């Protein structure tokens, strides 16, 4: 059991918590069919954009950094794509390509500023938060509908998971990215570099790992993920809006931490982030079924975040001893 | 001016924020002369400059608390949410009870200070990194505020209390808007507290080296808790001004992104994010610089929505100037050029 207490304890706690939460919901709302594949499908489909953001955030936090700009990049991406499609008659796929390129470039620039000039990551990405939100409003300061036939086609692409429930295209994007992240982080040299960098930057440098390149790449990848999350959001909302994704970075960080990733970097799993997203979604589903005010769900997320950070602290202290 | 005096000025942390402020003011002198027009109506001063002071006062007050927190090597991301909490508590008590302002204001500030205390305990006693500890309250604080107000905007109009509550943001003192008075008084009190007592020295010492301060007999944890409580208090005051300004407790929008403005003011003001030496006046100038910049942009028709872009560019620019690595690169480049000559 010693391997469990050290390496997998946070992950196991998260998994148990998810099961408990879902079971509680299922028991209390059994007459409303809480325990159904529809709810499960909703957990993935409605939180796809959060999940994609959180996956990007996981890799940044694993490397020992933080990115506060993701919510703004999502907002920028949605209005950018919607305006390109609606006002400039650009094909959605072309708009997506442009958006992904812009998001990646944005992350790259922030990464370069952080790495080359030794600026604190939270400050640079805070600047990024301001900048991207402002740019979103430069494009358009109101919501734009997307009524391109391509979007109708994309929304018809679903993956049935039985019982009439189905996963949306955005949910499939999320799961595909999850698979990709698992491969990159656990089976490639780059992934090992990310963990090493988050574990101890000095040691990674002394070991001769390409610290600079890895650090910059991590922010570029997160920029890509953020704009991909923006795309997922346009699929979900069928519109673009410069105010979208406000404060989403905090939800993303909360989800990553609840998923067992250490905020100090170097420890954690993307699988944990998946569990974190599902917990987050389950709390909101319970809120929906119970017809509770959404402020209580926010409080629950905050409380969970606190509990998990305290747990990390306890585990960390034990490791030091 | 003597050479020593010039040298002293050159090394002053106030130099750059003042140069920045002067640059924006000079720009306005050339391009928007109306910026300097002042007029007296009903005994009150009006004009863009008064506007800057009035709107900037919230930023100044938040910057005071944030400066001390950053001086201890921390940061407080929750000030916006605490503003919302303080406004929500005040609005609830004013509408639901018959308590007067002398009771309501301390309650609202007390709630804000409890929030600050929670931050302080998490940072100092539990040992969580400040970004994360205050992030928790940033996320859940808005939830608390929304829960207090029952998820709606509590309007404060047409009641006996509204006039006295209105005075906080709408009143005038010595011809200037009342928030300016609050900001000035708070700044002076804070300056006195940190510069005429050992408190400032203790804060700088904790920020420079917590362990060494502890060994030297300073109650490092206590100091840390204290600055977070003070930061909560400042956010509470700012929240009251904000609520009084719009005559409502709008928990979704109150204080949104103000934590970023406050950090901006501190960084521009010349206090390093790594902690240690701090300059309160620098932060005050930083906050005023930010507000002047915003007001200038508004007069040029920049909408408040796009104003974050220049804000972001300035913050990154200032950070680059302060960055050792950046200066080294630029400095070395100019040195090389000198060598070639």
Q: What is the pLDDT along chain B (341 residues), one digit of tens a residue?
A: 567 777 776 667 777 778 888 888 888 778 877 777 777 777 777 777 888 888 899 999 999 999 999 999 989 989 999 999 999 999 888 887 777 788 889 999 999 999 999 999 999 988 888 888 898 898 888 889 888 888 778 877 766 666 777 777 777 788 788 889 899 999 999 999 989 898 888 888 888 888 888 888 888 899 999 999 999 999 999 999 998 888 788 877 777 778 888 988 998 888 888 888 888 999 999 999 988 888 888 888 888 788 888 888 887 887 787 777 777 777 776 665 554 44
Cα–Cα distance for residue pair A300/A281, rounded to 1 Å: 12
A159 strand-pairing partners: A167
Instruction: Report the half-sphere exposure of B19 (CA within 13 A, side-chain side).
Output: 10
Angle at B225 between CA B221 and CA B226, to 5 degrees: 115
Cα–Cα distance for residue pair B326/A289, rounded to 1 Å: 54
Residue by residue, what is the 3-state secondary structure of B156-214?
CCCCCCHHHHHHHHHCEECCEEHHHHHHHHHHHHHHHHHHCCCHHHHHHHHHHCHHHHH
CA dihedral over B42, B47, B49, B53, signed as positive or negative: positive
Is the pLDDT at A1 greater than 90, yes or no?
A: no
> Which chain A residue has its CA at the smallest distance from B273's CA?
A120
B293 touches chain A (CB under 8 A): no
For position A317, what pLDDT does the model report?
55
Cα–Cα distance for residue pair A315/A226, rounded to 1 Å: 31
> Which chain A residue has its CA at the smallest distance from B314's CA?
A127
The rounded Cα A317 to chain-centroid distance in angstroms is 28
Is the pLDDT at A71 greater than 90, yes or no?
A: yes
Is the pLDDT at A316 greater than 70, yes or no?
A: no
Residues 6+ apart with CB under 8 A from A131: A69, A72, B308, B309, B312, B313
> Which one, of B280, B250, B76, B260, lies nearest residue B189 by Cα?
B280
Whether A57 contacts A256, CB under 8 Å: yes
In this complex, do A299 and B144 lie within 8 Å of one another by their Cβ atoms?
yes
Assigned token pair, B268? 């521009």
For position B340, what pLDDT does the model report?
43
For position A183, what pLDDT does the model report?
96
Mean pLDDT of A158-172: 85
Cα–Cα distance for residue pair B262/B286, rounded to 1 Å: 9
Residues 6+ apart with CB under 8 A from A136: A72, A75, A76, A79, A80, A242, A243
B316 CA: distance to closest CA in chain A (Å): 6
Lowest mean pLDDT among A19-28, A202-211, B15-24, B264-273: B15-24
* Phi, psi for residue B173 in degrees, rounded to 5: -140, 125
In this complex, do A293 and B147 lie within 8 Å of one another by their Cβ atoms?
yes
Lowest mean pLDDT among A115-124, A269-278, B170-179: B170-179
Percentage above 90 pLDDT, chain A: 51
Is the pLDDT at A50 greater than 90, yes or no?
A: yes
In this complex, do B273 and A264 lie within 8 Å of one another by their Cβ atoms?
no
A299 touches chain B (CB under 8 A): yes
In this complex, do A134 and B312 lie within 8 Å of one another by their Cβ atoms?
yes
Classify A238 in phi/psi space as left (phi over 0), alpha (psi -120 to 50) or beta.
left
In this complex, do A293 and B131 lie within 8 Å of one another by their Cβ atoms?
no
A298 touches chain B (CB under 8 A): yes
Residues 6+ apart with CB under 8 A from A320: none
Mean pLDDT of A239-249: 87
Residue by residue, what is the 3-state secondary structure of A30-84?
HHHCCCCHHHHHHHHHHCHHHHHHHHHHHHHHHCCCCCCCHHHHHHHHHHHHHHH
A18 strand-pairing partners: none
Angle at A278 between CA A230 and CA A20, to 5 degrees: 165
In this complex, do B146 and A301 lie within 8 Å of one another by their Cβ atoms?
no
For position A42, what pLDDT does the model report?
87
Assigned token pair, A97? 């390509």
Q: Roughly what angle, to the nearest 10 degrees, separates helices B48-71 and B220-246?
A: 160
Mean pLDDT, chain A, whole residue set: 89
Residues 48-107 of A with CB under 8 A from B: 66
Cα–Cα distance for residue pair B136/B133, rounded to 1 Å: 6
H-helix or E-strand spanning residue B39: strand B39-41
Cα–Cα distance for residue pair B138/B79, rounded to 1 Å: 7
Lowest mean pLDDT among A10-14, A140-144, A263-267, B11-15: B11-15
Is the pLDDT at A117 greater than 70, yes or no?
A: yes
The DSSP secondary-structure symbol of B141 reads: H
> Which chain B residue has its CA at the smallest distance from A251's CA?
B139
Cα–Cα distance for residue pair A285/A180, rounded to 1 Å: 28
Q: Judging by DSSP bridges, how do beta strands B172-173 and B176-177 pair with one another?
A: antiparallel
Residues 257-276 of A with CB under 8 A from B: 257, 263-264
The rounded Cα B199 to chain-centroid distance in angstroms is 20
Counting other chains too, the contacts that A188-196 makes at CB distance below 8 Å and 24 or more residues apart are: A190/A214, A190/A217, A194/A59, A194/A62, A194/A63, A194/A218, A195/A62, A195/A266, A196/A266
A104, A226, A240 from A115: Cα distances, Å: 16, 20, 32
Whether A90 contacts A80, CB under 8 Å: no
Is the pLDDT at A164 greater than 50, yes or no?
A: yes
Question: Using one digit for the tens of pLDDT, what is the confidence trace for B99-156?
Answer: 778 888 999 999 999 999 999 999 998 888 888 889 889 888 888 988 888 877 887 7
The rounded Cα B309 to chain-centroid distance in angstroms is 20
Residue with tokens 């040298």: B7
Residues 122-141 of B with CB under 8 A from A: 122, 126-129, 131-133, 135-141
Mean pLDDT of A1-7: 58
Cα–Cα distance for residue pair A298/B143, rounded to 1 Å: 5
H-helix or E-strand spanning residue A109: helix A92-116
In this complex, do B140 and A302 lie within 8 Å of one another by their Cβ atoms?
yes
Whether B61 contacts B183, CB under 8 Å: yes
B265 CA: distance to closest CA in chain A (Å): 13
Is the pLDDT at A136 greater than 60, yes or no?
A: yes
Lowest mean pLDDT among A28-32, A45-49, A58-62, A204-208: A28-32
Cα–Cα distance for residue pair B338/B332, rounded to 1 Å: 10
Assigned token pair, A175? 């799961």
Whether B63 contacts B283, CB under 8 Å: yes
Cα–Cα distance for residue pair B254/B243, rounded to 1 Å: 8
In this complex, do B312 and A116 lie within 8 Å of one another by their Cβ atoms?
no
């Amino acid at each position: 059991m010693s391997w469990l207490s050290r390496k997998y304890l946070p992950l196991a706690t998260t998994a148990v918590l998810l099961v408990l939460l879902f079971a509680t919901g299922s028991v209390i709302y059994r007459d409303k069919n809480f325990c159904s594949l529809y709810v499960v499908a909703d957990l993935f489909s409605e939180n796809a954009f959060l999940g994609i953001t959180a996956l990007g955030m996981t890799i940044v936090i694993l490397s020992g950094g933080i990115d506060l700009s993701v919510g703004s990049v999502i907002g920028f991406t949605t209005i950018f794509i919607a305006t390109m499609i609606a006002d400039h008659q650009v094909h959605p796929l072309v708009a997506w390509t442009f958006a992904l390129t812009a998001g990646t470039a944005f992350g790259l620039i922030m990464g370069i500023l952080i790495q080359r000039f030794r600026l604190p990551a939270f400050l640079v990405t805070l600047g990024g938060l301001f900048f991207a939100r402002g740019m979103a409003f430069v494009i358009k300061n109101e919501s734009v509908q997307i009524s391109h036939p391509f979007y109708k086609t994309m929304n018809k692409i679903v993956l049935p998971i039985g019982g009439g429930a189905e996963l949306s295209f955005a949910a499939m994007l999320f799961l595909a990215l999850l698979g990709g992240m698992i491969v990159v982080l656990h089976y490639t040299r780059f992934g090992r570099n990310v963990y090493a960098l988050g574990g101890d930057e000095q040691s990674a440098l002394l070991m001769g790992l390409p610290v600079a390149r890895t650090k910059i790449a991590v922010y570029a990848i997160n920029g890509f993920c953020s704009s991909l999350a923006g795309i997922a959001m346009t699929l979900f909302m069928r519109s673009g809006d410069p105010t979208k994704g406000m404060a989403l970075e905090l939800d993303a960080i909360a989800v990553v931490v609840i998923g067992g990733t250490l905020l100090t970097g170097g420890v954690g799993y993307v699988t944990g982030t998946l569990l974190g997203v599902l917990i987050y979604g389950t709390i909101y589903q319970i809120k929906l079924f119970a017809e509770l005010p959404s402020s209580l769900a926010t409080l629950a997320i905050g409380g969970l975040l606190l509990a998990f950070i305290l747990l990390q602290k306890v585990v960390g202290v034990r490791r030091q001893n | 001016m003597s050479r020593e005096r010039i040298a002293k000025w050159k090394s002053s942390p106030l130099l750059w924020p003042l140069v920045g402020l002067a640059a924006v003011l000079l720009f306005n002198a050339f391009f928007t002369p109306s910026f300097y027009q002042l007029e007296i109506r009903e005994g009150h001063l009006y004009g863009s400059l008064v506007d800057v002071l009035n709107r900037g006062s919230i930023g100044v007050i938040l910057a005071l608390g944030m400066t001390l927190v950053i001086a201890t090597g921390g940061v407080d991301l929750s000030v916006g949410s605490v503003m919302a909490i303080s406004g929500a508590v005040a609005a609830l008590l004013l509408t639901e009870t018959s308590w007067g302002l002398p009771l309501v204001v301390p309650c609202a500030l007390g709630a804000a200070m409890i929030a600050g205390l929670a931050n302080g305990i998490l940072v100092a006693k539990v040992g969580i990194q400040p970004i994360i500890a205050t992030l928790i309250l940033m996320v859940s604080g808005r939830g608390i505020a929304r829960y207090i107000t029952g998820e709606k905007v509590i309007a404060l109009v047409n009641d006996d209390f509204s006039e006295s509550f209105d005075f906080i943001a709408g009143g005038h003192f010595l011809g200037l808007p009342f928030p300016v008075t609050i900001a000035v008084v708070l700044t002076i009190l804070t300056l006195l507290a940190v510069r005429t007592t050992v408190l400032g020295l203790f804060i700088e010492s904790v920020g420079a080296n917590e362990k060494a301060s502890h060994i030297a007999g300073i109650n490092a944890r206590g100091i840390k808790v204290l600055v977070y409580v003070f930061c909560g208090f400042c956010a509470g005051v700012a929240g009251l001004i904000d609520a009084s300004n719009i005559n409502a407790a709008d928990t979704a929008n109150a204080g949104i992104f103000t934590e970023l403005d406050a950090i901006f003011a501190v960084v521009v003001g010349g206090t390093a994010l790594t902690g240690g030496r701090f300059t309160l006046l620098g932060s005050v100038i930083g906050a005023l610089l930010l507000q002047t910049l915003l007001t200038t942009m508004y007069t040029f028709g920049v909408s408040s929505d796009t104003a974050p872009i220049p804000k972001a560019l300035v913050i990154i620019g200032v950070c680059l100037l302060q960055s050792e690595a950046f200066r080294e690169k630029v400095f070395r480049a100019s040195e090389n050029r000198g060598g070639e000559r």
